[in-house]
Amino acid sequence: MTGPTGPIGSTATAAIAASASPTTYSSTEEKLTWLMQGMLARTPGARHALVLSRDGLKLCRTPELSVDQADQLAAIAAGIQSLSHGASMEFGDGTGGVRSAMAEFYGGVLFIVEAGEGAHLALVTAEEADPGLIGHNMAELVEQLGDHLSSQPRTSLSAQPRTS
């Protein structure tokens, strides 16, 4: 299997968010998906990977996740990261920084790491998967993608100037 060549464009988030339908992929999304699938292949026990925005929008997913599952996982991961941010503010150094979060449940584990400004990488694994290897592979993927996983915060409609 050969992978994409060349650097990933700096407009990754915009291209992903602008996808017209779940089955229509931009070339940027295909590259991101290919990189996430590579991580799944290198990580025994890994089942699903997802890139999401801080506010819970799915940006890119591996094909094993249905669109509905990806939406649900994005909401869950964003909620966990938000709670972790609150814990960091109250009990950490006060900056609200969260490097990673993990939820262990019957039948699997959810790992979440920061992946650029306003973006997170979520990975669902089997219970017996090696957390050390998972952490290493997730960090490696985030490094490969660099700023291409950044997601700018959405602005509310009320914050935008009216043109009439």
* pLDDT band (50, 70, 90) for residue 94: confident
Place of tokens 């790491």: 113
pLDDT band at 9 (very low <50, low <70, confident <90, very high): very low
- 7-44 exposure pattern, b = at least 16 Cβ within 10 A, e = fewer: ebeeebbebbbeeeeeeebbebbebbbebbbbbbeebe
Cβ atoms of residues 110 and 124 within 8 Å: yes
Strands, DSSP E only, in the chain? 46-53, 58-61, 100-105, 108-114, 119-125
- For residue 109, the one-letter residue type is V
| pLDDT-derived band at 28, boundaries 50, 70, 90 | confident
Higher pLDDT, 104 or 97: 104
Question: What is the predicted pLDDT for the residue at 162?
Answer: 52
- Whether the CB-CB separation of 125 and 105 falls below 8 Å is answered with no
Per-residue pLDDT at 7 exceeds 50: no
Confidence of residue 118 (pLDDT cuts 50, 70, 90): confident
CATH code of domain 23-151: 3.30.450.30
**Domain segments of the chain as ranges:** 23-151
Q: Kindly state the average pLDDT of the residues 75-85.
A: 95
Model confidence at 81: pLDDT above 80: yes
112 and 49 in contact (C-beta within 8 Å)? no
Q: What is the mean pLDDT of the chain?
A: 80
User: Could you tell me if 117 and 150 are in contact, meaning their C-beta atoms sit under 8 angstroms apart?
Assistant: yes
Closest among 47, 1, 16, 9 to 145, alpha carbons compared: 9
Provide, rounded to the nearest whole percent, the portion of the chain with pLDDT above 90. 59
For 127-148, the pLDDT digits (tens) are 999 999 999 999 999 988 775 5
Give which of 40, 41, 29 is closest to 4, Cα–Cα: 29
